[in-house]
C-alpha cells in the first residue's frame, strides 16, 4: 500500500508533467484544477511531510494565532514566525489600497473571520469580543453536544466577500467542515481555492491536522481523518528544480502526538500542550522562496 505522502508527491509529478503554464499575479506557474488527498489522524498521527522538513512549530504557532482571532503580524514576529512578513510591509499594504493600515496590520484575515465573522474592522489592536459571528466557538458548542455533533452544518468560512478588499491577502484555505461518526470520531475537510504546492500545501496539511487534533481533544472526541480538496493547485517556476529533488525521496513514517492538557477556553492552547509520542523524522530541508 502506498505511503499516504505519495498523494502529495503524485500531485507534484502531475503538475510538473501535465500542468498548464500560466502567468499570474506573482509569477509564472504550472497548475492543474482540482485535487484531493486523505490523511489518517488515528492514534495521534500527524501528516507532517517527511520528504523534506516542515517547520511544524511555525505552522502550529500560526494556527494558534488564527484560533485567537489575531490579525497582527507583530504577534507572529514575536514568536519568530515570519511567513506573513512580505504581506505586511508598507509597500505591500499600499498595493492593496490599505494605506490606513499600520505596518503588520493585515486587516480582517483568517482569525477575524473565524472568530468575529463580518464584524466591522477597525485595526489589529481592537477588541472585537461579542462582535460578528464566532464561527469556531459555534462549532465547538455543537461538537460538545451529542444531539448536535452529527449536524451537516458544521462549516466555517474564511471567505467573506464583504471584507476581501480590506484584507492584505484574500484567504487561500477558505472553507472547513467537521464530521463526527459513531458519536466519537472527528474528521475535518478543507477546501482550498489556491494551493502553492511547494510551500503552502505542506503547511496547510499540517495546520488543519493539528486543528482537528486540538478540537477533538477539546470536545472529548477522537481525531480520525483530514480530507484536503484543492482548487487551483500550482507550482511556481522557481520551485520546479527543488520539487524534482523532493519527488525522488522515499517517504518515512509520519510522527504521532498527544495533547496533554484540556483547557476550558479554546484560546488557551499553546505549543506547550503538544507531546510527541513518535518522533518526527524527515529528509533534509529543501529551500524554496515564498511568493507574496
pLDDT at site 145: 97
pLDDT at site 185: 98
Sheet with 20-24, strands from edge to edge, namely 20-24, 27-40, 222-236, 185-196, 173-181, 155-157
pLDDT at site 259: 97
Which 8-state DSSP code applies to residue 83?
T
Query: What is the model's pTM?
Result: 0.96
Here the cell at position 125 is: 489592536
User: Which of left, alpha, beta for 113 (phi over 0: left; psi -120 to 50: alpha)?
Assistant: alpha
**CATH, range 6-68+151-278:** 3.30.572.10
Structural contact between residues 128 and 118, judged by C-beta atoms closer than 8 angstroms: no
User: What is the rounded (10 degree) CA torsion for 107, 271, 150, 110?
Assistant: 10
Give the residue from 43, 86, 54, 70 showing the smallest Cα distance to 290: 86
Pairing of strands 173-181, 185-196: antiparallel
**Positions of the chain with pLDDT under 70:** 1, 292
**What is d(CA 207, CA 58) in angstroms, rounded to the nearest whole number?**
10
From the candidates 59, 70, 124, 172, give the one annotated as an active-site residue: 172
pLDDT at site 1: 59
Give the residue from 176, 189, 48, 197 showing the smallest Cα distance to 110: 176
Q: Is 172 a catalytic residue?
A: yes
- Please, what is the average pLDDT of the chain? 97
Which 8-state DSSP code applies to residue 99?
T
Pairing of strands 27-40, 185-196: unpaired
Domain residue spans in the chain?
6-68+151-278
Pairing of strands 185-196, 222-236: parallel
Amino acid at each position: 500500500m502506498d505511503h499516504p505522502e505519495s498523494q502529495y508527491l503524485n500531485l507534484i509529478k502531475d503538475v510538473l508533467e501535465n500542468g498548464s503554464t500560466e502567468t499570474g499575479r506573482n509569477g509564472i506557474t504550472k497548475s492543474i484544477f482540482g485535487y484531493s488527498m486523505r490523511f489518517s489522524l488515528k492514534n495521534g498521527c500527524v501528516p507532517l511531510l517527511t520528504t523534506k522538513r516542515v517547520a511544524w512549530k511555525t505552522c502550529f504557532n500560526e494556527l494558534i494565532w488564527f484560533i485567537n482571532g489575531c490579525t497582527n503580524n507583530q504577534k507572529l514576529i514575536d514568536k519568530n514566525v515570519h511567513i506573513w512578513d512580505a504581506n505586511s510591509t508598507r509597500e505591500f499594504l499600499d498595493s492593496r489600497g490599505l494605506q490606513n493600515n499600520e505596518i503588520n496590520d493585515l486587516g480582517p484575515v483568517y482569525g477575524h473571520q473565524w472568530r468575529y465573522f463580518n464584524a466591522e474592522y477597525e485595526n489589529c489592536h481592537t477588541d472585537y469580543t461579542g462582535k460578528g459571528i464566532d464561527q469556531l466557538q459555534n462549532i465547538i458548542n455543537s461538537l460538545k453536544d451529542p444531539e448536535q455533533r452529527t449536524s451537516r452544518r458544521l462549516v466555517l468560512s474564511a471567505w467573506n466577500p464583504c471584507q476581501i478588499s480590506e484584507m492584505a491577502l484574500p484567504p487561500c484555505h477558505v472553507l472547513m467542515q467537521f464530521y463526527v461518526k459513531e458519536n466519537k470520531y472527528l474528521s475535518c475537510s478543507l477546501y482550498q481555492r489556491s494551493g502553492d504546492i511547494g510551500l503552502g500545501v505542506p503547511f496547510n496539511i499540517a495546520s488543519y491536522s493539528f486543528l482537528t487534533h486540538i478540537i477533538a481533544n477539546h470536545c472529548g472526541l477522537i481525531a480520525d481523518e483530514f480530507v484536503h480538496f484543492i482548487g487551483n493547485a500550482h507550482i511556481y517556476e522557481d520551485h520546479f528544480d527543488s520539487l524534482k529533488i523532493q519527488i525522488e525521496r522515499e517517504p518515512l513514517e509520519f510522527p504521532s502526538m498527544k495533547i496533554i492538557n484540556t483547557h476550558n477556553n479554546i484560546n488557551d492552547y499553546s505549543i506547550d500542550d503538544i507531546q510527541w509520542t513518535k518522533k518526527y523524522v524527515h529528509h533534509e530541508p529543501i529551500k524554496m522562496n515564498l511568493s507574496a
